[in-house]
């Protein structure tokens, strides 16, 4: 799933990518439009949730007619799934980058958790969107169209972490009795669920005034690391 920016590609730009070369102009435009629509939909959904954003809003944001939007995405659900997949993609990409970093397994895990936290704090709305989507998806009568793609990216994210835990068990920085997959799921579950403002707000008011969410997340991380440290 290639990301194409809002700016439409010009004809005279020299392309080396064969796949794009092969596409007819009409196909190219279509592909660009799909990406543009998804991009705008994601942006709007992240800010406002699914219900608040109307197909009309998305059409306007993408600069197209609503009828055209419906030709590309006959159901709002399809657009929601596409936006959710796009929203999850950067997490996978950044995780993969971190896996190829320097240092011991422990250091790399700590780095990736730090990064995860920063993402959570900086992009609270992204996390909230993800949670909203997963809730939404869980209530539909028949599985959302395209949901397999989403689940697959999720699985890839988890698989990215596996070698790291294995390394740590090997080099002795992690306890040898922990289960790799269960540990991975724990990480995702523990650190991936700070999107809901309501919980966040509730926690903030529950915690002392001078405890920032960042402090709490740091404590959470320490706690987790302590639990797997050898």
Closest distance of CB 86 from a second copy, Å = 17
Residue 219 near which of DNA, a second copy, none (CB within 5-8 Å, type-dependent): a second copy
Is 23:31 a contact under the CB 8 Å cutoff? yes
Q: Shortest Cβ distance from residue 116 to DNA (Å)?
A: 32
Q: Which of a second copy, DNA, none does residue 64 bind to, with CB < 5 to 8 Å depending on kind?
A: DNA
Contact between 89 and a second copy (CB under 8 A)? no
Indicate which of DNA, a second copy, none lies near residue 89 (CB less than 5 to 8 Å, by partner kind): none
Distance between CA 205 and CA 50 in Å, rounded?
A: 28
Which residues touch 170 (CB under 8 Å, ≥6 apart)?
Answer: 105
Annotate each residue in 115-134 with x if it binds a second copy (CB under 8 A) or - if it does not, as one string: -------------x--xx-x
Q: Is 71 in the site for a second copy (CB under 8 A)?
A: no
List the interface residues with a second copy, window 135-194 (CB under 8 A): 135-139, 141, 147, 151, 154-155, 158-159, 178-179, 181-183, 185-186, 189-190, 193-194
Max CA distance (Å), the chain: 61
Contacts of residue 104, Cβ cutoff 8 Å, sequence gap at least 6: 167, 168, 171, 173
Burial 43-57 (b: 16+ CB within 10 A, else e): bbbbeeebeebeeee
102 counts as binding a second copy under rule CB under 8 A: no
- Give min distance, CB of 152 to DNA, in A: 24
Give residue 46's region: left, alpha or beta (phi > 0; psi -120 to 50): alpha
| Positions that interact with DNA (CB under 7 A) | 24-27, 29-30, 33, 53-56, 63-68, 70-72, 74-77
**Secondary structure (H, E, C), 36-59:** HHHHHHHHHHHHHHHHHCCHHHHH
Nearest residue to 78 (alpha-carbon basis) of 146, 151, 149: 146
Residue 12 tokens read as 């005279």
Residue ranges in 38-67 that form contacts with a second copy under rule CB under 8 A: 48-49, 51-52
DSSP code of residue 174: B
What residue 29 binds from DNA, a second copy, none (CB within 5 to 8 A, per partner kind)? DNA
| Residues binding a second copy (CB under 8 A) | 48-49, 51-52, 128, 131-132, 134-139, 141, 147, 151, 154-155, 158-159, 178-179, 181-183, 185-186, 189-190, 193-199, 201-203, 205-208, 211, 215-216, 219-220, 223-224, 226-228
């Amino acid at each position: 799933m290639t990301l194409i920016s809002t700016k439409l590609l010009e004809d005279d730009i020299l392309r080396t990518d064969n796949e794009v070369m092969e596409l007819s102009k009409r196909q190219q435009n279509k592909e660009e439009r799909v990406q543009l629509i998804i991009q705008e939909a994601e942006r709007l959904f992240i800010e406002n949730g699914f219900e608040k954003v109307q197909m009309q809003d998305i059409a306007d944001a993408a600069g197209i007619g609503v009828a055209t939007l419906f030709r590309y995405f006959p159901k709002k659900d399809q657009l929601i799934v596409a936006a959710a997949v796009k929203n999850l993609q950067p997490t996978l990409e950044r995780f993969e980058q971190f896996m190829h970093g320097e240092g011991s397994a422990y250091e790399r895990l700590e780095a990736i958790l730090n990064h995860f936290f920063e993402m959570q704090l900086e992009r609270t709305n992204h996390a909230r969107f993800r949670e909203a989507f997963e809730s939404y998806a869980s209530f539909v009568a028949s599985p959302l169209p395209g949901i397999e793609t989403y689940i697959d990216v999720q699985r890839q994210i988890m698989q990215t972490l596996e070698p790291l835990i294995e390394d740590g068990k090997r080099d002795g920085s992690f306890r040898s009795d922990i289960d790799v997959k269960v540990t991975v799921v724990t990480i995702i579950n523990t650190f991936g669920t700070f999107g809901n403002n309501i919980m966040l707000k509730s926690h903030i008011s529950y915690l002392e005034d001078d405890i920032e969410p960042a402090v709490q997340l740091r404590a959470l991380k320490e706690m987790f690391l302590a639990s797997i440290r050898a």
